[in-house]
Amino acid sequence: MPASHPDSLSVAVVTETYPPEINGVANTMRHLVEGLRARGHAVTVVRPRQGADRPRQQANRPRGRAAPSQILVPGLPIPGYRGLKFGLPVYWRLRRLWKRQRPDAVYVATEGPLGHAALNAARAWDIAVLTGFHTQFHQYSRHYGLGLLMRPIVRSLRSFHNRSDATLVPTSALERELDQDGFRNLHVFSRGVDTRLFSPSRRSAALRRGWGCDDASIVALYVGRIAAEKNIGLAMDAFDAMSSRDPRTRCVVVGDGPELPRLRRAHPDFIFTGAKVGEELARHYASGDCFVFPSLTETFGNVVPEAMASGLAVVAFDYAAAHEHIRPWQNGVLVPAADRQTFIDGAVAAVFDRDRLRAMGARARSTAESLSWDRVIGSVEQRLRDVIRRHADARDRHETMAATTE
């Protein structure tokens, strides 16, 4: 994992999920890894082996190595997340790896067994380590009948992240919330959006015709995991209200998840497309008119800037990415958190005035054009350098103190 330039860094990124898996963390990790590599840094990804990783890809390579830039480790399925795995705690493998090829820093993106092993192995070799707060597991517990576990989960997460040199969070609001919960050394790692991929120019008349739409139709869109923790039931209620207000409204749901079969049966008039990625996903976004996103468990919500970049007015609760980027009734609709009826009313009002809806979509696109991934990755690069320098300074002070006491 040696860096090829004196100013280059060698970074190990440890994550439970990575493309082609479809979720916000995987998408963010792809941008982080590709962005750091584009800046000349040597990046190795450590992740669980997934079903898409064919055994023949491993031929003639060291055990556990998928490619020169990836280390694959064993994993087990994640309950409720079909096709995804969590990595096993391969502490000794990482210790051996980082003894041979010591990185300048380790970035641990997930708090599972693999993440704990990576944090411990980095600490064992006195390597600078950052952690990322990418998923609000403590909030998810409310949606699976485990609300009593929320505070213990927070304590566990705090213990984990406070052992690192710094923790990166996606918004300043979450930074303040975690600070109040006793998390230390917090810094904002915001999110960008690919405005070349997600663009109004990808609007497809053919796709809209396939949905049964004409120029007079309004397409209300949801993109995301079809699961209880995404508050998907509220999206369905909002769609019902929008359709009742104007029967020409078509409701399109893009994504997969455990609630999909039930919702297909319950809402036969809605269009369920399954999961989409890349240009196909971009066409689905751009072919809509209004984006409905009722989730209250996001650390950020990458779908919000993706929808905005696609020229859609977003209806969302006032937190996470929506709080950061939406100006009420200027480039979207912002609703007080957890106010269910106001959310539904806002969605209906958004599609009632079509001229205003189009104007909000145009301003949403303008807002998204300022959200550069290059700027975001530049800030993470600087944070890596700061942590590496502070870690080295602390080690030097410790060694000096030890020498003076001998």
Q: How does pLDDT run across 238-282, given as a tens digit for each residue?
A: 999 999 999 889 999 999 999 999 999 999 999 999 999 999 999
Is 339 found in the same domain as 381? no
Q: Hey, how many other C-beta atoms are within 10 angstroms of the C-beta on 176? A: 12
Considering the domain boundaries, does residue 298 fall inside one?
Answer: yes
Is 188 found in the same domain as 50? yes
Residue 37 in tokens: 């590599």
pLDDT of residue 214: 87
Considering the domain boundaries, does residue 112 fall inside one?
Answer: yes
pLDDT of residue 297: 85
Q: What pLDDT, in 10s, does the model give residues 302-355?
A: 999 999 999 999 999 999 999 999 999 999 999 999 899 999 999 999 999 999
Is the dihedral angle over the CA atoms 189, 45, 165, 374 positive or is it negative? Answer: negative
**Angstrom distance (rounded) from CA 99 to CA 78:** 30
Domain residues for the domain of 311 are: 200-368
| Tokens 């550069």 -> residue | 372
| Tokens 């990783």 -> residue | 53
Residue 230 in tokens: 């995404």
Q: Is the pLDDT of residue 151 over 70?
A: no
Considering the domain boundaries, does residue 4 fall inside one?
Answer: no
Instruction: Identify the residue with better confidence: 67 or 368.
Output: 368
pLDDT of residue 20: 87
pLDDT of residue 134: 77
pLDDT of residue 61: 41
Is 31 found in the same domain as 112? yes
Q: Is the pLDDT of residue 150 over 90?
A: no
Is 133 found in the same domain as 16? yes
Is 105 found in the same domain as 139? yes
Is 83 found in the same domain as 33? yes
Is 242 found in the same domain as 383? no
**Angstrom distance (rounded) from CA 235 to CA 291:** 10
**Angstrom distance (rounded) from CA 248 to CA 217:** 5
**Angstrom distance (rounded) from CA 406 to CA 271:** 73
Confidence of residue 397 (pLDDT cuts 50, 70, 90): confident
For residues 388-392, average pLDDT: 91
Say which range, 29-38, 173-182, 264-273, 396-405, has the weakest mean pLDDT: 396-405
Is 233 found in the same domain as 153? no
Is 362 found in the same domain as 248? yes
pLDDT of residue 52: 64
Provide the percentage of residues in the chain whose pLDDT is more than 70. Answer: 86
**CATH for 258:** 3.40.50.2000
Say which range, 71-85, 100-114, 217-231, 375-389, has the weakest mean pLDDT: 71-85
Q: What pLDDT, in 10s, does the model give residues 14-55?
A: 999 999 888 888 999 999 999 999 999 999 999 998 876 654
Is 206 found in the same domain as 134? no
pLDDT of residue 64: 45
Instruction: Yes or no: say if 91 and 67 are a contact pair by the CB < 8 Å rule.
Output: no
Q: For residues 76, 78, 81 and 83, what is the CA-based torsion angle, rounded to 10 degrees?
A: 0
166: β partners:
130
Instruction: Identify the residue with better confidence: 1 or 141.
Output: 1
**Angstrom distance (rounded) from CA 233 to CA 226:** 9
The rounded mean pLDDT for the chain is: 88
Is 231 found in the same domain as 185? no
Q: In terms of DSSP bridges, do strands 70-73 and 65-67 run parallel, antiparallel, or are they unpaired?
A: antiparallel
The total of structural domains in the chain comes to 2
Is 224 found in the same domain as 155? no
Considering the domain boundaries, does residue 360 fall inside one?
Answer: yes
Which helix or strand (DSSP H or E) is residue 144 part of?
none
